[in-house]
Amino acid sequence: MDIPSPRPGDALLVVDVQNDFLPGGRLAVPSGDQVIGPLNVAIAQFLAQGLPVFATRDWHPPEHCSFKANGGLLPPHCVAGTRGAAFPATLALPPDVVIVSKGTLPGNDAYSGFEGTRLGDMLREARVTRLLVGGLATDFCVLNTVTDALQEGFGVVLLTGAMRGMNLQAGDDEAAIDTMIEHGALPCSLPPLAKARLPRAQPRYR
């Protein structure tokens, strides 16, 4: 298994790294904060190479259908404009990050960043062919976003060190990773983008 060096046509996709999904948040993913360090390494490398960074976020109205008070199953979370919906200050998103909000309508939930958004079109407009993906939660929004990305014809590399699962049942995160691989995603199990710190091994000719 190879560590993919980002190349032209790649984009980094950061999935739902928001305060409410971090420890202490309304819908916390266990150890969710551990994705921030490796994602910051990846962001720095994409920035250095002039490659685009996209970030999805759950962005619900207060009357969202997934909330218990509105007949859903979940505590209120990621209400648009609140601190819980914000990206953590420690996540070093670049100034030109493309933010994709999902689940913005009261009656629609979206576990995939492609659902009800322009993400697919924006990626195609940016000539992106492959996504390197990390974030939260492996077994919900990462899973659904990745299977949609593959369905839309994008290549996907899973930054498995930069994602964490909700694990409502033990092992849900590993099962989700297996499912994404079965659908065609490639895992990168080594510390993501460790090569970022190494000089380029060889000059490149074209």
The reply on whether position 173 binds ligand VGL by CB under 6 A is no
Using CB under 6 A as the binding rule, whether residue 16 contacts ligand VGL is answered as yes
Q: Does 89 sit behind a cis peptide bond, omega within 30 degrees of 0 on the bond before it? A: no
- Give residues 21-60 in contact with Zn ion (rule: CB under 5 A): 58
- Residue whose CB is less far from Zn ion, 10 or 58: 58
102 is catalytic: yes
14 binds, among ligand VGL, Zn ion, none (CB under 5 to 8 A by kind): none
CB of residue 21 vs ligand VGL: minimum separation in angstroms? 6
C-alpha 190/C-alpha 180 separation (Å) is 17
| Spatial contact of 193 and 44, defined as CB atoms under 8 Å apart | no
Tell me if 58 contacts ligand VGL by CB under 6 A.
yes
Give burial (CB, 10 Å; 0-12/13-18/19+) of 136: buried
**What sign does the dihedral 33-35-41-47 (CA atoms) show?**
negative
Where along the sequence are the contacts to Zn ion (CB under 5 A)?
Answer: 58
Where along the sequence are the contacts to ligand VGL (CB under 6 A)?
Answer: 16, 21, 27, 58, 74, 136-137, 140-141
